[in-house]
Structure 1
């Protein structure tokens, strides 16, 4: 063989046609052997797993036999999920819309595939080999899903996947696609105690499966993905509507229906209990709590395990306390309804563990008129002023803010036209942070929110358990007044952090979970749960102190409000939202936290006056009082670092000799001031003009003057500073030190005064003039006269003398003081000592003499000559 480049093969390379033929045969043989080996390996594997599997014909006869049981913490059975309602129907008894909706949603290649999703099988194998979880696999065919639901456990393992494939293949050989789809629709769970489409159609809509509308069929097809979560009797009906619409869109996508049909179906209500969905009654205690536990268990262990494999769940709820909670809500509803409200919810938590002790999700789970099945305890609602403690807790992390810090409650434009008002539509002037929070004043709360910083406040609330404030760009300063939605359960758990000295325990509802073989899947051990310190104990104590301070809140709430418990400290905060749509009271002792919400599920406003302290606080007080009855009185323990101190009121700093107003309160270790009062400044000024005097000015023309200079929380912001400046000027608290200095060369000499008459130590009697000598009488405005420190007169006209009858004085020594004041504000004084004696006098022939304090000589003459 020669190369094409015009030269001979230098290595004399040749290729044998016979050898090429031999190589191809060898390769084909190897491939055949490999294929045979793989086939044998797969066959052996399938045979190994298949030997323990039932025949497909037996699968349809198998039914789950074990139910999940939910108990309270003391062994009271709250709910049992067993005894599934199921009515098996034939294919002609199932609405075509439902069949198409199921295929469009669960397995669009159902009629083309052979019952196996090989991609899913391969993914499970890879995950098994490399020990990765792979997340939620999904992608199973309807045939595989039927096998999994009818026979196999729900754990995502390679072994189970192989068994699933084997049975699916066998089913595909034995049954038609329509038969498999019918078996599937008769088997799968549709939430609660219902399995199969016939039972679901009758339970939710009161009609057989063959009579379902397109919208109803799409709704039912949406449920099996997560039956507990998407149940029309659950709290996620809004998500159910979204998934129903997704089902309709998929039906349009594969040409099962037209877009116009889907659009019309989307307009129909198919999820509202009591309107489009049949109300239900069932044997259940603490229904909202029980449903919440089921939902939590389904998220943790899967719907299959909860619905069919029989778990035993011991919960944190105390049913005896639950009955007290339900009664407290029921008793409070008369007043709520008077104000146009229709529903109430209550949650109580042990703050030391986070265990939910009671949960009343609505006043009546079965009341369809108010959507009673909706669990308000886990629904998003605006908290109003009950959010404020998170704001103040955030501010207290900073050195300059403490319970005694002054905030100015004046109408303030915060920019963008945002001008909040207090609930009582008035302002209260300067108040401490303690007073502002205790009395729930809105303007100071918005100021505190701005000073603390929105991001920091949200971080604090999130750290304490609030999960709903995720869209930070949506919020502004009004978040400080509670416009961001929270869940009652999380809000109550957040207040538990205050109650537990800043230590957070996540709200929990399960104490122990056991499977149907007795294996403990989960067990809560309080002794091992140390919680998480999310708030400094000193800040928690400041909030405890403020929220339990009945005297501090009495300005707005009075001294005998439902927040007050005479025998023990109870921290509490109310909240009311715009138009009285929500009313709250959340409060705590060291061992119990309680949250109450009242209003309307549909967010319809209540009537004016339905604020938290009026309609929610009585329920809170009623429940808390019954729960605390007979229990030891617990105090909030003061942590290390907290100190009580007296500070100057306006500066919140240490007082000086020139401070005149004071406040005493508690401080954290970092809040305790080390600097001194900078509001009241002592300045040496010239008496003549009040201007700051130079160091060279003689003391005779100067005096010390106090200048008070009160500013707003943000002196550089005119919207904050303006209202405070106006108030401070009127109150005499804005008197800044003059910038101009005193020119002592233009200051008149200091006034001097001396007493000319009487002289020092002179004895005087009768009426005579008191005269003085003044160095600069033209500048003098007035001279005042004092005998024995008692004013006896004054004179404003030169020569400034005073006529006085010294006989008014008792015989003996006395002091005389004169004080001159000039037009420059200067004063001068002089003092002498003198003696007085009452002079003799004659009246109508009677002569008195030798008069003392205790005796006198009296002489008179009669008409007889020589007689006296």
Structure 2
């Protein structure tokens, strides 16, 4: 007999043992006459339908397995029940042709020495039934609290369905629906082979099979542990995990996990009492590397009442409005901006229906408050979680491109774009909480995505390292300014105040935190996902059976989110979010927030005349001549930065969107600027002849700078008209000075400069914003080459 080795899973320190799969092996051996014939026949039907006719091996199955081994490198398949006995009890689990040959020889010998009944008895006492449960008698006691002799036909079908992949087919795991289908397949086979008649089959199909709660276990962080174990079995095989054994150092922060489990239970019990939401799930990930720090799949893994073993964190649920940032990010990539204006008005989105919503299968979603706010900048619409602008954003960004964005950021469940419509942006597509947390991490890192992982290191029993986490550079899946724009919106307590009020559970005092909530229809799901620069936390609340709650979003899931964020950041403080400028990309004025017209002109704010090439950017003001239309009148959604459509009505949504805009303007009006408002003179205070003399003193052009260099640099001007000085290094503004003395002490180490040439640019302004500049080049020579220049803004 082969001696099984334990697989042990530890926390990230390698000191806390989370799981030992052989710590408490459970097995009760019984004779075949104590095992219901239903179980015997069900197992033969699904595992080895020729069991009673072969002599230990099946030639056709072996040929098929041999071809798979030689041409595909797959050594699985082709095993009879007798071979499985040999594999489970007598041989090691190495996947080689030589071991397979030994297995075949021993199987043939066993068939000569033992009867079929004896072989079947051994198999049913050795088969794995998930976790530490082995043998059908123990499985019957664990799952149904009855002996194997008392099992019903339907229960027998479920038990027979498990051993092929016991962790995957765990009745309390995330694949219960698939297990139901497999159990029915067992019944189909039993009827097909004549083991049961139609009456027995029909009765079993109608029977409701209920699995009882497993006894307590010493496993810690069980949802996370079995998430990791499932990964290990898929990568290395069940034999490696169950028999050969592995040592696994996971990514779990056990201190955070322990705190989160305690608080999750408290919040879930409170939600159950106050809102009717009995369950809760949470995932925390480090966005800078994708490592899972904490995972809770239910309020209590061992609570059968709420189906506690089911891992909601790794299962599909509708995310509500927490999906919106993916659509907005996609739109920002295409040229839309946080300032772009869309109308929050009644809008019918089925182009076959009238603008008022008359027709077949019409779609006109409402906002959570059943109100309309008229023209709204995208940043306000997202922060306030307005539904109608969000649906418009999805249309402008396109469903396919939005799904592509979500996939690139870590969402794995949205497969076929044809399955989704405009309601996707309101959460109509199921996603996993663990994926959502991973995806939001991409916002936290300014567009760099790191795949989520629960593994730091895996060793075999000899100490050989099979895999080890290595920090990589991630993948830049979003432009940094796009990700940062989403972060700036979701972190602004001012922007979300109209919906959530100030100081809500989304706000973590003292820390930079961005967050978005999500609530599905009838409050069936309550989400919140948020992040700082060093942690992403996602919380889901609801009921596994999808029953409604009284509240959603921030009220139900916000308190746990806030507690975990506060706890972690109190120990590991995060830095502030970046402030990356959104580029000026041109396009129609509506993209820049000027919604009441498409023909614009620029004036100089000081002289009042038309701006010229000499008018400073700070003095230029864009104005539009009033001519209000929907955004589809001004732009082509497929090329928003280009020219608009020659015929806007060719866009199927134009008529209905235009109707809503016109109705709102008729009721509320719009700023009026006529063509006669265009000035008939040009800016006359900013000309090519007005230059502000300024000179840099304290650094020489071409000077070499080494680490730990500090220089007091003075900015000399003879005219004394300077009112402000901006200091740039490599086009990044690092300081603004608005009063004397006109000097600045440079600590070059603060700027994290790369080795090589750099440019210092000094711009001086007078009270009319006339300007002058001086440019100095210098060479930085550090000890090591540092990554791209990152400047610290003071």
Question: What is the distance in 1 between the residues matched to 2:492 and 2:584?
Answer: 17
Question: What is the distance in 2 between the residues matched to 1:482 and 1:307?
Answer: 39
- SS at structure 2 position matched to 1:202: helix
Matched, 1:621 2:557: no
Equivalence map 1:369-388=2 (5 Å): 369-388=305-324
Number of the residue aligned with 1:309: 244
Change (3 A) 1:651 1:444: same
**Preserved CA contact (<8 Å) 2:93 2:244:** no
Number of the residue aligned with 2:193: 254
Q: TM-score, normalised by structure 1?
A: 0.69
Number of the residue aligned with 1:174: 113
Change (3 A) 1:126 1:424: closer
Equivalence map 1:663-702=2 (5 Å): 680-681=624-625
Deviations along 1:725-766, one digit per CA (max 9) or x if unpaired, are 23334554387989xxxxxxxxxxxxxxxxxxxxxxxxxxxx
Change (3 A) 1:189 1:559: same
Task: Report which structure shows greater RCO (CA 8 Å, sep ≥6).
Answer: 2
Question: What is the distance in 2 between the residues matched to 1:374 and 1:654?
Answer: 58
In the TM superposition, what is the alpha-carbon distance from 1:623 to its structure 2 partner?
Answer: 0.9
Number of the residue aligned with 1:723: 660
Deviations along 1:329-379, one digit per CA (max 9) or x if unpaired, are 133235422011111111100011111000111111111111111111011
Number of the residue aligned with 2:541: 598
Question: What is the distance in 2 between the residues matched to 1:455 and 1:198?
Answer: 51
- SS at structure 2 position matched to 1:248: helix
Number of the residue aligned with 2:346: 411
- SS at structure 2 position matched to 1:492: helix
Deviations along 1:53-100, one digit per CA (max 9) or x if unpaired, are xxxxxxxxx263422111111120111110421122222122111111
Change (3 A) 1:640 1:170: farther
Change (3 A) 1:564 1:161: same
Matched, 1:430 2:352: no
Change (3 A) 1:125 1:473: closer
**Preserved CA contact (<8 Å) 1:567 1:633:** no
Structure 1 residues not aligned, in runs of 5+: 1-61, 661-671, 682-707, 739-868
Number of the residue aligned with 2:88: 149
Number of the residue aligned with 2:19: 79
Number of the residue aligned with 2:333: 397
- SS at structure 2 position matched to 1:616: helix
Aligned alpha-carbon RMSD (Å): 2.6
In the TM superposition, what is the alpha-carbon distance from 1:479 to its structure 2 partner?
Answer: 0.8
Matched, 1:469 2:414: yes
Deviations along 1:115-138, one digit per CA (max 9) or x if unpaired, are 11223444555566x5x3354642
Number of the residue aligned with 1:709: 627
Number of the residue aligned with 1:267: 206
In the TM superposition, what is the alpha-carbon distance from 1:287 to its structure 2 partner?
Answer: 1.2
Counterpart among 169, 177, 191 of residue 238 in structure 1: 177
Number of the residue aligned with 1:581: 524
The number of aligned residues is 628
- SS at structure 1 position matched to 2:415: coil
Question: What is the distance in 2 between the residues matched to 1:652 and 1:103?
Answer: 75
**Preserved CA contact (<8 Å) 1:331 1:619:** no
Change (3 A) 1:727 1:205: closer
Number of the residue aligned with 2:699: none
- SS at structure 1 position matched to 2:333: coil
Q: TM-score, normalised by structure 2?
A: 0.75
Deviations along 1:446-479, one digit per CA (max 9) or x if unpaired, are 1101111111111111111111112433321111
**Preserved CA contact (<8 Å) 1:190 1:223:** yes
- SS at structure 2 position matched to 1:396: helix
Question: What is the distance in 2 between the residues matched to 1:265 and 1:353?
Answer: 49
Change (3 A) 1:124 1:440: same
Deviations along 1:234-257, one digit per CA (max 9) or x if unpaired, are 221111111111111101111111
Number of the residue aligned with 1:212: 151
Change (3 A) 1:734 1:552: closer
- SS at structure 2 position matched to 1:629: helix
Number of the residue aligned with 1:781: none
**Preserved CA contact (<8 Å) 1:406 1:650:** yes
Question: What is the distance in 1 between the residues matched to 2:463 and 2:602?
Answer: 75
Question: What is the distance in 2 between the residues matched to 1:489 and 1:623?
Answer: 16
**Preserved CA contact (<8 Å) 1:410 1:724:** yes
Deviations along 1:760-807, one digit per CA (max 9) or x if unpaired, are xxxxxxxxxxxxxxxxxxxxxxxxxxxxxxxxxxxxxxxxxxxxxxxx
Question: What is the distance in 2 between the residues matched to 1:343 and 1:113?
Answer: 50
Question: What is the distance in 2 between the residues matched to 1:92 and 1:447?
Answer: 67
Change (3 A) 1:428 1:370: same
Number of the residue aligned with 1:445: 390
In the TM superposition, what is the alpha-carbon distance from 1:508 to its structure 2 partner?
Answer: 0.7
Deviations along 1:7-57, one digit per CA (max 9) or x if unpaired, are xxxxxxxxxxxxxxxxxxxxxxxxxxxxxxxxxxxxxxxxxxxxxxxxxxx
Number of the residue aligned with 1:105: 46
Change (3 A) 1:651 1:71: farther
Question: What is the distance in 1 between the residues matched to 2:469 and 2:129?
Answer: 31
The structure with the larger Rg is 1
Question: What is the distance in 2 between the residues matched to 1:732 and 1:86?
Answer: 78
Counterpart among 317, 324, 328 of residue 259 in structure 2: 324
**Preserved CA contact (<8 Å) 2:5 2:243:** yes
In the TM superposition, what is the alpha-carbon distance from 1:207 to its structure 2 partner?
Answer: 1.6
Counterpart among 140, 144, 166 of residue 227 in structure 1: 166
Change (3 A) 1:652 1:642: farther
Question: What is the distance in 1 between the residues matched to 2:666 and 2:381?
Answer: 23
**Preserved CA contact (<8 Å) 2:318 2:431:** yes
Structure 2 residues not aligned, in runs of 5+: 351-360, 606-616, 634-648, 676-794
